[in-house]
Homo-oligomer: A and B are copies of this chain.
Amino acid sequence: MAEEKYFQVQFQPVGKRVKVLQGTTVLEAARQAGIELTTACGGNGSCGQCQVVLVEGCLSPVKPNEKFLITEEDLQRGYRLACGAQILSDVRLHLPKESMLTGQRLQVESSLKTFPPDPFIDAVEVQLEPAALQDLRSDLTRLRDALHAQGVKDEVTASSALVRSLPDTLRENDWKVTAYLRRGEILAVRPHGEKPLGYAVDLGTTKIAAHLVDLCTGEVLGSAGAPNPQISYGEDVISRLNYAVRSPEGGRVLAGKVREALNGMLGDLLRQAGARREQVVDGCVVANTAMSHLLLEFPVKQLAKSPYVAAASEALDVPAAELDLDMAPGARVHIPPIIGGFVGSDHVAMLLACELDESSKVTIGLDIGTNTEISLRIPGSDHLTSVSCASGPAFEGAHIRDGMRAASGAIEKVRIENGRLTLTTIDHEPPVGLCGSGILDAVAELYRAGYLNKNGRFQRERPEVQEGEQGPEFVLVPAQESGSGREIVITQNDVNEIQLAKGAIHAGLKVLLEATGTPPEAVQEVIVAGAFGSFINIQSAVAIGLFPDLPRARYRQVGNAAAVGARWILISRAARQRAQEIARRAHYLELTIEPGFSRQFARGMLFPA
**How many chain copies does the complex carry?**
2
Most buried by B among A138, A157, A338, A588: A138
A136 x B309 contact (CB < 8 A): yes
Instruction: Confirm or deny: A15 has a beta carbon within 8 angstroms of a beta carbon on chain B.
Output: no
A450 within 8 A of B: no
Q: Is A518 engaged at the interface, CB distance under 8 Å to the other chain?
A: no
Interface pair A136/B341, CB less than 8 Å apart: yes
Q: Which residues of B contact A160 (CB under 8 A)?
A: 296, 298, 316, 318, 322
Q: How far is the CB of A352 from chain B (nearest CB, A)?
A: 20
Contact of A340 among B136, B167, B299 (CB under 8 A): B136
Report how far A431 CA is from B479 CA in the complex, Å: 97
B133 and A592 contact, CB distance less than 8 A: yes
A49 CB, min distance to chain B CBs, angstroms: 32
Which residues from B are CB-within-8-Å of A341? 136
A308 at the interface (CB under 8 A from B): yes
Q: What residues of B have a CB within 8 angstroms of the CB of A168 in the complex?
A: 299, 301
A475 within 8 A of B: no
A140 touches B (CB below 8 Å) = yes
Task: Give the CA-CA distance A340 to B142 in the complex, in Å.
Answer: 13
- A308 surroundings in chain B (CB, below 8 A): 136
A44, CB-defined interface residue at 8 Å: no
* Complex-state Cα separation, A439 to B473, whole angstroms: 100
Q: Which residues of B contact A137 (CB under 8 A)?
A: 309, 313
Contact B306 A138 (CB under 8 A): no
Q: Per-residue CB proximity of A145-161 to B under 8 Å, as 1/0?
A: 00000000000011010
Contact residue among B167, B298, B316 (Cβ-Cβ distance under 8 Å from A301): B167
Whether the pair B296, A163 counts as a contact (CB closer than 8 A) is yes
Tell me if A260 is interfacial: C-beta within 8 Å of chain B: no
Cβ of B167 and Cβ of A132 under 8 Å apart? Answer: no
**Cβ of A129 to closest chain B Cβ, rounded Å:** 12
Say whether A312 contacts B141, CB under 8 Å.
Answer: yes
Interface status of A549 (Cβ within 8 A of chain B): no
- Contact A307 B133, CB 8 Å, known A140-B312, A141-B314, A164-B299: yes
Does A302 make an interface contact (CB < 8 A)? yes
**Which A380-401 residues have C-beta < 8 A from chain B?**
none
- State how many angstroms separate the Cβ of A323 from the closest Cβ of chain B: 9
Whether, in the assembled complex, A590 has its beta carbon less than 8 Å from a beta carbon of chain B, the answer is yes
- Chain B residues with CB under 8 A of A302: 131, 139, 167, 171
B167 near A133 with CB under 8 A, answer no
Known: A131-B307, A139-B302, A302-B131. A163 touches B590 (CB 8 A): no
A580 to chain B, nearest CB (A): 12
Chain B residues within an 8 Å CB radius of A301 = 167-168
- Per the 8 Å Cβ criterion, residues 313-367 of A in contact with B are 313-314, 316, 318, 322, 338, 340-341
Asked whether, in the complex, the Cβ of B590 is within 8 Å of the Cβ of A140, the reply is no
A62 interface contact, C-beta 8 A = no
CB-defined contacts of A318 to chain B, threshold 8 Å: 160
Q: Known A-B contacts: A131-B307, A158-B312. Give 16 more (CB < 8 A).
A: A131-B309, A132-B307, A133-B307, A136-B340, A136-B590, A138-B309, A138-B314, A139-B302, A139-B311, A160-B296, A160-B316, A163-B298, A164-B311, A166-B311, A167-B311, A171-B302
Between A and B, 11 residue pairs with Cβ closer than 8 Å are A131-B309, A133-B593, A136-B307, A138-B340, A139-B309, A140-B312, A141-B313, A157-B314, A160-B316, A163-B296, A164-B311
Chain A residues packing against B (C-beta within 8 Å): 131-134, 136-141, 144, 157-158, 160, 163-164, 166-168, 171, 296-299, 301-302, 306-314, 316, 318, 322, 338, 340-341, 588, 590, 592-593
